[in-house]
Amino acid sequence: MISMIMMPRRAVRRLLLSIGATLASAWAVPVSAGPLTYEQAVRLAAANAPSLKARAAATAGARSSAVAADRLPDPTLDLGLQNFPVSGPNAGSFTRDDFTMATIGFSQTFPNLAKRHARAARAAADIGIAEAGELVEGRNVRLETALAWVDLYYGERRLRQLDLLDASLDDLQKTVTARLASGSARPSQALEPDQLRAAIADRRAEMAAVV
């Protein structure tokens, strides 16, 4: 009997984050440093996801069980000893009387043929279920990896845009300062660049946490 292991999407995300952390530590080596492309991310996830390895092991187990499903049970060795003396003057001896008898033989059971065929059919169905589960899990892993990669890609782009916006506030600060000096701006407007910079910093912190 093969049990289907269903992983929620959050669990898959956590799994992929764990894989990503492992890969990130590997990228820290200067020789292999560099961004992970979409194709590389999907390929690595499909090759290393523990959930996929578990599915593959379940499929292999189903195939192994199916091999013996329609076979006859193994023969058994039967050994017996009758009338062996355990008391009296002949106790413990095989040769002092003529009543001790030893038997040896083999026995073979023959289960109902219909039951054997039913077991074989069930085993084949279990293989099909396990293979289907492996395919579904593979698609789920690739999909979640793709979504994570896209989220990361656009999250990093937003971070870069926020950095550019923050840098542009230096020019705004100079403009406000000049206007204040000339009297063309109100004193309250001097705080606007700092307020914008604080808002950008908050947004950047949120986006960095997401990334």
pTM for the structure as a whole: 0.51
Please give the pLDDT value at position 135: 93
Please give the pLDDT value at position 94: 66
Residue 145 is classified by DSSP as H
Per-position pLDDT tens, the chain of length 211: 333 344 455 554 554 555 455 444 444 433 333 578 889 999 999 899 999 999 999 999 998 888 877 777 778 888 887 777 777 677 767 666 667 777 888 888 887 888 888 888 898 999 999 999 999 999 999 999 999 999 888 988 888 888 888 888 877 777 777 777 777 777 777 778 788 888 888 888 888 888 8
Please give the pLDDT value at position 60: 92
pLDDT, the chain, mean: 78
Between CA 167 and CA 161 the distance in angstroms is: 10
CA 58-131-65 angle, to 5 degrees, is 50
